[in-house]
Amino acid sequence: MAKENLVMEIKDFSFTYAGAEKPSLKKINLPIEENKITAMIGPSGCGKSTLLRAMNRIHDLYPGNKYEGKINLYKADGSKQNILDIKKENDFIKLRQEVGMIFQKPTPFPMSIFDNVAYGLRLSGIKNRSELEGRVEKALKGAAILDETKDRLKESALGMSGGQQQRLCIARAVALKPRVLLFDEPTSALDPFSTGAIEELIAELKEEVSVVIVTHNMQQASRLSDYTAFMYLGDLAEYDKTEKIFLNPTQKLTEDYITGRFG
Amino acid sequence: MNRLLLNKIILILSTLSAVIGIGFLFWILATLSYKGITSIHWSTFTHDLVKGGIRNLLVGQFTMAILASALAVPVGMMAGIYLREYGHGSKLASVIRNLSDVMMSAPSIVIGVFVFALLVDPFGGYNGYAGIVALSIMMIPIIISTTDNMLALVPKELREAGIALGGSKHKIILQIVVKAAKVGITTGVLLSFARIIGETAPLLFTSANNQFFTMDLTGQFPSLTVSIYNLATYPDEASRELAWAASFILTMIVLCINLIGRYAIRNKK
Residue A181 and residue A173 in contact, taking contact as beta carbons nearer than 8 Å:
yes
On the question of pLDDT at A1 being above 80, the answer is no
CB pairs under 8 A between A and B: 65
Please check whether residues B34 and B48 belong to one and the same domain. Answer: no
Q: Rounded to two decimals, what is the model's pTM?
A: 0.84
Assess whether B97 and B165 both reside in one domain: yes
Q: Of A96, A172, A173, which has the smallest distance from its Cβ to B163's Cβ?
A: A96
Convert the pLDDT of each residue in A79-93 to its tens digit: 889 999 998 888 898
Question: Rounded to an integer, what distance in angstroms lies between the CA atom of residue B183 and that of residue B261?
Answer: 9
Domain containing B2 equals 1-39
- Min Cα distance B265 → chain A (Å) is 16
Among A74, A79, A62, residue whose Cα is nearest residue A20: A62
Residues of chain B found within 8 Å of residue A110, distances taken between Cβ atoms:
176, 179-180, 182
Assess whether pLDDT exceeds 60 at residue A188. yes
Q: Within this chain, do residues B32 and B112 fall inside the same structural domain, yes or no?
A: no
Q: What is the ipTM of this complex?
A: 0.87
Summarised one tens digit per residue, pLDDT across range A110-150 is 999 999 999 999 998 888 999 999 999 999 988 888 888 88
Query: What pLDDT does residue A78 have?
Result: 82
Q: State the smallest CA–CA distance between residue A238 and chain B in angstroms.
A: 28
**A58 contacts B163? CB cut-off 8 A:** yes
Domains identified in chain B, total number = 2
Q: Percent of chain A having pLDDT more than 90? A: 66
**Judgement on whether residues B231 and B112 belong to the same structural domain of the protein:** yes
CATH entry, A3-258, from 3.40.50.300, 1.10.3210.10, 3.30.9.10, 3.40.50.450: 3.40.50.300
**Does the beta carbon of A107 lie under 8 angstroms from any beta carbon of chain B?**
yes
Q: What is the pLDDT along chain B (269 residues), one digit of tens a residue?
A: 688 899 999 999 999 999 999 999 999 999 999 999 999 999 999 999 999 999 999 999 999 999 999 999 999 999 999 999 998 778 999 999 999 999 999 999 999 999 999 999 999 899 999 999 999 999 999 999 999 999 999 999 999 999 999 888 899 999 999 999 998 999 999 999 999 999 999 999 999 999 999 999 999 999 999 999 999 999 999 999 999 999 999 999 999 999 988 887 776 54
Q: Could A104 and B157 be called an inter-chain contact, meaning their C-beta atoms sit closer than 8 Å?
A: yes
Residues of B with CB under 8 A from a CB of A: 155, 157-169, 171, 175-176, 179-180, 182
Cα–Cα distance, B269 to B264 (Å, whole number): 9
| Residue A45: predicted pLDDT | 86
Contact across the interface for B164 and A173, Cβ inside 8 Å = yes
Q: Are residues B128 and B17 in the same domain?
A: no
Q: What is the DSSP string of chain A?
A: --GGGEEEEEEEEEEE-TT-SS-SEEEEEEEEETTSEEEEE-STTSSHHHHHHHTTTGGGGSTT-EEEEEEEEE-TTS-EEEGGG--SHHHHHHHHHHEEEE-SS----SSBHHHHHHHHHHHTT---HHHHHHHHHHHHHHTT-HHHHTT-TTSBGGGS-HHHHHHHHHHHHHTT--SEEEEESTTTTS-HHHHHHHHHHHHHHTTTSEEEEE-S-HHHHHHH-SEEEEEETTEEEEEEEHHHHHHS-SSHHHHHHHTTS--
Same domain, B21 and B69: no
Q: Measure the CA–CA gap between B233 and A199, rounded to whole angstroms.
A: 76
